[in-house]
Copies of this chain bind each other. A is one copy, B any other.
Amino acid sequence: MASLLRPSHELTYAAAEIVLQGCMKKAAEIGVPQCIAIVDTGGHLLAFARMDGAKFHAQRSATQKAITAASTRGATGAAPQDFGVNLSLATGGMTTNLKGGLPILRDGQLVGAVGIGSGTGEQDVEVAQAGIAALEKALAAN
């Protein structure tokens, strides 16, 4: 018989806060105020921060990057431009092809995602990576 329930793990708020703090520390280091969104595996917001000086519209793009990374279980911004635009339109803007969204994986399984907006794509990715690294360090120490 086919399996009926799939075991999974979700970030707690405590974990989301660690990702958030790791992102903010890196953003401060590189001098780029950011919007930072952490979502669960269903793309629902767990934690958000708009640092002083970050663009207010980036609240939305950061969140969409996190949702996209959760849905695809991969980094955002890798699709060809035409495909990315069409997919964004077809999903009511839920999916974005902007860089700065990364899945958060544990033993290869999705446990959440992070999206960063307000810097360049490269800065956004760097800040997202720092947040995930902070969580990995905390998980290793746990």
Give chain A's interface residues, CB within 8 Å of chain B: 1-18, 40-52, 55-61, 64-65, 67-68, 70-73, 81-98, 106, 111, 121, 135, 138-139, 141-142
Contact = CB atoms under 8 A, between A and B. Distances in A.
A13 B51 contact: yes
B44 A92 contact: no
Nearest to A44: B56
Contact of A89 (B8, B15, B88): B88
- 4 smallest CB-CB distances across A and B, nearest first, come from A42-B42, A2-B14, A48-B48, A4-B15
Contacts of A60: 90-92, 94
Contact of A55 (B72, B89, B90, B93): B72
B90 A93 contact: yes
Contact of A4 (B68, B92, B135): B135
A112 to B, nearest CB: 9
A84 B14 CA distance: 31
A7 to B, nearest CB: 6
Given A89-B85, A90-B96, A11 B5 contact: yes
B45 A43 contact: no
A21 to B, nearest CB: 10
Contacts of A82: 81
Contacts of A84: 86
Given A3-B14, A48-B49, A60-B94, 19 more contacts: A4-B12, A4-B139, A5-B106, A5-B139, A6-B52, A8-B8, A40-B42, A44-B59, A56-B70, A57-B68, A60-B90, A64-B90, A84-B86, A86-B96, A86-B97, A88-B89, A90-B93, A90-B98, A92-B93
